[in-house]
């Protein structure tokens, strides 16, 4: 697959077919993704790849905590985005709610949607990305690169992904479930699976600010 085609066709998939992704395909995705660049080839990343009963357990634990609206305590604190990022974030939420027919005051439907997110949108598989605690911020930059590379490699196999901060909101529970040592910080999660083509939410494509808003040209 052409790399530009893969970049353009990737989007956050928020509804999946139940079919599990085979270990073989996930291995191919990860082999490709591990070619991602990192500071001095430090490769400051580790992955828990989840399927089967382990996935069911993960979804149940996080879904239950989300339904109870238990306070989130991610290893990397959730940001309080200032303007203009706050407005972009609000716009995304409003667009998804509108598409899903969830009104502003329907708190029950909003909670149902929220719980679905913590259940990895019912994806059959997940990837939890973690690293050693106490590393520089550059380690996280490396992880951003490998995560996008996973997302793009997945497209090649007909897979969809969602990058999920939600998925690492209760890190102690996840460390315990998968025997991840205390010395590791959970950075992000991905839902991964075959997109449900019928799902309305998968018709959604997020906006981007115009190129001229974020790009300044010099010497042209």
Ligand X SMILES: Cc1cc2nc3c(=O)[nH]c(=O)nc-3n(C[C@H](O)[C@H](O)[C@H](O)COP(=O)(O)O)c2cc1C
The stretch near ligand X (CB under 6 A) out of 35-43, 45-53, 123-131, 157-165 is 157-165
127 in Cβ contact with 189 (< 8 Å): yes
Residue 164, interface with ligand X (CB under 6 A)? yes
Q: Which of 49, 47, 27 shows the shortest CA–CA distance to 129?
A: 47
Max CA separation in the chain (angstroms): 57
Q: How far is the CB of 183 from ligand X (least distance, A)?
A: 23
| Token digits of residue 197 | 């083509």
**Within 6-25, which residues bind ligand X (CB under 6 A)?**
11-12
Q: By rule CB under 6 A, what string of x and - marks binding of each residue 196-215 to ligand X?
A: ----------x---------
Among 154, 166, 174, 180, binds ligand X (CB under 6 A): 166
Q: How far is the CB of 86 from ligand X (least distance, A)?
A: 14
Q: By rule CB under 6 A, what string of x and - marks binding of each residue 81-100 to ligand X?
A: -----------x--------
| 114-151 core/surface letters (b: 16 or more CB in 10 A; e: else) | bbbbbbbbbbbbbbbbbbeeeeeeebbebbeebbbbbb
User: Side-chain half-sphere of 171: how many Cα atoms within 13 Å?
Assistant: 21
Among 21, 163, 190, 192, binds ligand X (CB under 6 A): 163
Residue 145, interface with ligand X (CB under 6 A)? no
Q: How far apart, in whole angstroms, are the C-alpha atoms of residue 45 and residue 129? A: 7
Per CB under 6 A, residues contacting ligand X are: 11-12, 92, 117, 162-166, 188, 206
């Amino acid at each position: 697959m052409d790399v530009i085609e893969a970049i353009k066709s990737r989007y956050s998939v928020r509804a999946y077919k139940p079919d599990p992704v085979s270990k073989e395909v996930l291995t191919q995705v990860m082999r490709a993704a591990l070619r991602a660049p990192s500071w001095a080839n430090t490769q400051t990343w580790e992955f828990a790849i989840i399927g089967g009963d382990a996935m069911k357990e993960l979804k149940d634990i996080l879904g239950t905590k989300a339904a109870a609206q238990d306070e989130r305590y991610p290893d990397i604190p959730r940001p309080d985005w200032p303007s203009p990022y706050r407005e972009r974030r609000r716009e995304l939420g409003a667009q998804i709610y509108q598409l899903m027919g969830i009104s502003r005051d329907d708190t029950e439907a909003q909670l149902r949607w929220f719980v679905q997110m913590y259940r990895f949108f019912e994806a059959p598989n997940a990837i939890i990305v973690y690293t050693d605690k106490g590393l520089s911020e550059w380690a996280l930059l490396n992880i951003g690169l490998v995560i996008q590379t996973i997302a793009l490699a997945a497209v090649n196999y007909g897979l969809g992904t969602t990058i999920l901060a939600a998925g690492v909101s209760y890190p102690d529970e996840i460390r315990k479930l998968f025997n991840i040592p205390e010395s590791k910080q959970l950075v992000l999660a991905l839902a991964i699976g075959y997109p449900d083509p019928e799902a309305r939410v998968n018709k959604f494509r997020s906006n981007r600010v115009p190129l001229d808003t974020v790009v300044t040209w010099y010497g042209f």
